[in-house]
Structure formats: structure tokens, C-alpha cells
Structure 1
């Protein structure tokens, strides 16, 4: 599934609550689908805060943005959905736990490239 359901949500004119969403989009340059610029356009139209991450979840820029997001919303209020390969899921979980986000606030879907 990957990001496809999120793209459909962005494209749904009846979708509500998107202004509360922050999307951390991890991608490999040259292999992104959608391309970060195209996703930024869609996200901007729907007031979604987009963080494009090509350096991976260990990137200090990702950690800082995640910490700021959790601080603003509150670790007990944030809801997180992660979709990606096992290594990404583990790294994001570790970063979220370091921010005080409990496991009950984290949902995941394993997605492996073939």
C-alpha cells in the first residue's frame, strides 16, 4: 500500500482534519513516488505540513522536526501511522519512544519493496 491511501485522502475533496496532519515522507532520491515536489504541492493545497526526508530516520533534521511536533501536540495526544520496511519502522519507533510517545499511540504497516 505505501503512501497511496494517504494520497487518496489528500485528493478527497470531502476529507476533513488534514490541517492537523504532519507527514514525514522518507524517500530515496530518484525513486520517490510521488516525487517530493508533487507531494509538496498536494500537501500545501490541503494545509498538511510535509517533511521530506531523503537522509533517513537517523537524520538530525528528522529528529528535530519529530521532537518539535511531539512537543507541540503532546506525547499523550499524538497519533502516529508508519508504513515502510522493517528498518524504518524500528528507527521511527525508537525516535518516537525517545520523545515519550507510547507504543499505544503508534500504528504500523510493513511495506517491503520487491
Structure 2
């Protein structure tokens, strides 16, 4: 699968996830106090998951920008190529393995 296709699939996944979480957060809460307290705790977890999905979207967009500029797969720190296995495992990787240890 081409890098663009992988990044596009990741973007769709994060977008779908964020939309589902937003829908869940938009629901009304129970009038029952005990149940409402549980729902508020669940909302905190959902908000953390939403922040993670939104951060994922930012990283995907940055990777897509690097791809458009011809810099995808180059370490942002040292400029060396990022290992293909690392990009396969983490398509939004910004750093080679060596530099990732220090950033």
C-alpha cells in the first residue's frame, strides 16, 4: 500500500473515531444523580480519547504535508531516511529510531 493510501486510511480512522466520540459526548445525561456521576466519569474518558484522536489527526496531516513536499520519511532532526519498517509500523513517524530516543 502506498504511503498516501496509508495516511488517508489513518485520517479516515481518526476522523470516524473523533466523530463517534463527539456524538457520545453530546448525548444528554440521566436525571438520576448516581447514574449522572458515572456518565460524567465516562465523559472524562471520552474527552481523553477525543484529544488522542484529534492529536492523531494533526500528526497525520503533518505527515501528509511532508509527503506533498517530498520530505516524507526523512528524519526531522538529522535528515536521514527513516527506516521503512519504522514507517510501516508508525506511518506518522517524524524521527529515525536513533533521533526518536532523544526527542
Please, what TM-score do these two structures have when normalized by structure 2?
Answer: 0.30
Determine which structure has more spread, i.e. the larger CA radius of gyration: 2
* Larger RCO of the pair (alpha carbons < 8 Å, separation 6+): 2
More strand by share: 1
